């Protein structure tokens, strides 16, 4: 015989490995990352749905804190948890029938609220610093007589004092403009559209008693973001490892005819 002839058949998959890209450890870690990410992502959304309710504020009575048309997230709370300075959502048929109202609590049961002393609201004789009001605006467009808030009730004002139909517009009612704590359904934590973020703490009321603690919104957002990153990172591991592995093989392939 004149020589030995050999024939090579090219692999059907162009030489690529049939196995999963990346090592076994990498595959396991990517799967674990995706599983943990899904738990965090879905758990964060579920937690948020239980704790928070979205509202669209239809008027500018809370400007500049909340403008007309803004979308807010309000934490579901019991009326007994409300503190001075909170922006709350409540329903009261004497104010608006069949629709929630958003206002700021400036006095609680037992307080005496009046306006104005040197242009500032007073609660129990103390002047309240209200940096959330528009620059140059007074605490109230017109003075109103001192009101002793009954136990179990709240006195509420809009941050846009010149046009807000708040407790001062109901002083002639039987309850003298106050609202029952039980009427409160939620406390506003943040403006989410546009993305203005968390409401600033009403530190001007701190001398009168404890302020409400912020809700878990920041923690919920962190869980959702971390979960999304883990899911995307775990899902990208396989394609990235395959691409890097292909480049490595192409660099080490021997030159020459076969």
Q: Which residues are within 8 A (CB) of 181 and not within 5 positions of it... i.e. 6 or more apart?
A: 79, 80, 82, 109, 152, 153, 154
Q: Is the peptide bond before 52 cis (omega within 30 degrees of 0)?
A: no
- Please answer whether residues 111 and 124 qualify as being in contact, where contact means their C-beta atoms are separated by less than 8 angstroms: yes
> Cα(88)–Cα(74) distance, rounded to whole angstroms?
8
- Please answer whether residues 54 and 73 qualify as being in contact, where contact means their C-beta atoms are separated by less than 8 angstroms: yes
Which of the residues 61, 164, 167, 212 is marked catalytic?
A: 61
Q: State yes or no: is 61 an active-site residue.
A: yes
Tokens of 66: 């909340």
Which of the residues 30, 103, 167, 212 is marked catalytic?
A: 103
| Segment (H or E) for 244 | helix 217-252
Kindly list the catalytic residues.
61, 103
């Amino acid at each position: 015989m004149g020589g030995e002839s050999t024939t090579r058949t090219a692999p059907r998959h162009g030489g690529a490995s049939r196995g999963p890209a990346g090592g076994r450890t990498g595959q396991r870690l990517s799967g674990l990352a995706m599983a943990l990410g899904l738990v965090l992502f879905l758990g964060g959304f579920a937690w948020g749905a239980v704790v928070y309710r979205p509202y669209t504020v239809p008027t500018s009575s809370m400007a500049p804190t909340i403008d007309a048309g803004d979308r807010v997230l309000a934490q579901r709370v019991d009326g007994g948890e409300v503190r001075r300075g909170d922006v709350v959502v409540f329903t009261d048929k004497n104010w608006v029938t069949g629709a929630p109202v958003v206002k700021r609590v400036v006095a609680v049961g037992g307080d005496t609220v009046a306006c104005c002393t040197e242009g500032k609201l007073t609660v129990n004789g103390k002047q309240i610093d209200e940096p959330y009001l528009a620059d140059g605006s007074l605490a109230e467009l017109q003075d109103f007589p001192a009101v002793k808030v009954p136990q179990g009730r709240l006195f509420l004002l809009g941050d846009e004092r010149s046009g807000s139909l708040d407790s001062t517009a109901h002083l002639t009612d039987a309850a003298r403009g106050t609202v029952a704590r039980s009427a409160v359904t939620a406390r506003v934590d943040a403006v989410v559209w546009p993305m203005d973020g968390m409401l600033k703490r009403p530190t001007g009321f701190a001398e009168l008693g404890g302020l409400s603690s912020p809700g878990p919104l920041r923690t919920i957002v962190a869980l959702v973001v971390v979960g999304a990153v883990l899911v995307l990172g775990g899902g990208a591991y396989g394609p990235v490892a395959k691409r890097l592995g292909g480049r490595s093989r192409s660099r080490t392939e021997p030159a020459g005819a076969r």
